Structure 1
Amino acid sequence: MVRILLAMPQGLLRGALKYVLSTHPDMDVIAERDAVESTIAAVRSDAPDVTVLDLELLNGPGKDPAGAARAAHSELPDSKILVLVDPRRPGVGSQIAAVPPSIGFLAQTASPERVVEAVRRLAAGEPVIDADLLVAALTPTTPLTERELRVLEVAALGSPVKEIARTMSLSPGTVRNHLSRIIAKTGARNRIEAIHFAKEKGWI
């Protein structure tokens, strides 16, 4: 019996995944969590065989999935973790190659049945790396720098230039320069269009 912890936001995906997993006699969803702290506590107390972890619980947009997964593994060294990742994130495929074999990666767009298969393989000690994520490594990455992505993330919260500057410890002029370069690189007409474009591409 594979004992499973679902660590992901509440919603249709989690409900569908729980239902599908529960239909398999060799699988048991022992707990569900929607925050990092409660997930760590549940892993330590319930000792699931596999934790299915949505990357959005670990980090903000634009951060690297491999780094976030390694951070989770350092907190939960005895747990096998299946990380669900947005395949549109820049550099996903190139980042996941060097993680421990107890961490598997699957695209968030994968069907519940593919998650079932990945859970079984991970529980059996087999490596799990989604082919969709490897394909993502061959696609062009964002033209924006890490600093520009961060500026855009804060701007996407509706923050004015002065607030972005304060949040990032930059001068308002520097923030305006970043926004101008972002608009130029994305081919947008203004900041709002640049934000929408970056979200569609999965950059933020």
Structure 2
Amino acid sequence: MTTLYIAEDQEMLKTALVTILNLENEFSVIGSSTDGLISLAEIKQLKPDIAILDIEMPGLTGLEIAAQLKKIIPTTKCIILTTFALEHYFQDAVATEVSAYLLKDSPSDFLIQTIHSVLKGATIYSPELVKTVLRAEKNPLSHREMEILTLIQQGLSTQVISKTLFLSEGTIRNYISAILSKTGSRSRIEAINVASQHHWI
């Protein structure tokens, strides 16, 4: 019998997942929670074979739980469920070495198939998610330009940024011009909005 734990902050979806997975004769859902901190504590105690984790939860995110489980209970394999087909989440999931990363609108049969594959050692990423990430625009800004844009986002002036980075105000203005050009923006605020929309900052 494969033991499962469900961490999902939407009560209705959590209940549906528990019901669907318990219908499978070889699966047993031994715990569930809508809170990240509670989920981590219960998973540490129950040590399920598979932890199915929502990426955004109160307390701790699914990725934060997965990162901790990797250190303390490496035998528990983590499957991330998310509504968000976002590049930075996907990159974090890959870095955390989760066993699977699926969109919540995936068919339940695909989730069940994924659990079986993960138990055999496979790593599964939702095809729709991979396509979305591959289509995502790459960040055109350099490390220094990102650093300056982040300081601008914090409300710092050109003068303060130049002192913070030990660069002349003219150099900072040149970097800002490059940032505006690369993001197709007419103002600093617009550049910040563009970078935020693409999850570069």
- Normalised by the shorter chain, which TM-score bucket? 0.5 to 0.7
Structure 2 counterpart of 1:135, one-letter code: K
Structure 2 counterpart of 1:42, one-letter code: E
Change over 3 Å in CA distance of 1:31–1:69 after alignment to 2: closer
1:89 to 82, 87, 90: 87
What's the Cα RMSD here? 4.2
Count of residues in Structure 1 that have an aligned counterpart in Structure 2: 182
CA distance in 2 between partners of 1:71 and 1:147 (Å): 32
Structure 1 counterpart of 2:29, one-letter code: D
2:185 to 159, 184, 188: 188
For structure 2, the residue ranges without an aligned partner over 5 or more in a row are: none
TM-score using structure 2 length: 0.62
Check conservation: 1:50, 1:80, Cα contact below 8 A: yes
Check conservation: 1:21, 1:29, Cα contact below 8 A: no
Matched residue, 1:118: 114
Partner secondary structure for residue 78 of structure 1: coil
2:140 to 135, 138, 143: 143
For structure 1, the residue ranges without an aligned partner over 5 or more in a row are: 60-64
Check conservation: 2:53, 2:80, Cα contact below 8 A: yes
CA distance in 1 between partners of 2:145 and 2:194 (Å): 14
Matched residue, 1:79: 76
Check conservation: 1:92, 1:136, Cα contact below 8 A: no
How far apart are residue 118 of structure 1 and its match? 3.1
Structure of higher RCO (CA pairs closer than 8 Å, 6+ residues apart):
1
Matched residue, 1:32: 33
Matched residue, 2:126: 130
Change over 3 Å in CA distance of 1:125–1:71 after alignment to 2: same
Change over 3 Å in CA distance of 1:40–1:186 after alignment to 2: same
How much identity, in percent, do the aligned residues show?
25
Structure ID, larger Rg: 2
Change over 3 Å in CA distance of 1:138–1:110 after alignment to 2: same
Check conservation: 1:82, 1:103, Cα contact below 8 A: yes
CA distance in 2 between partners of 1:147 and 1:55 (Å): 30
Per residue, is there more helix in 1 or in 2?
A: 2
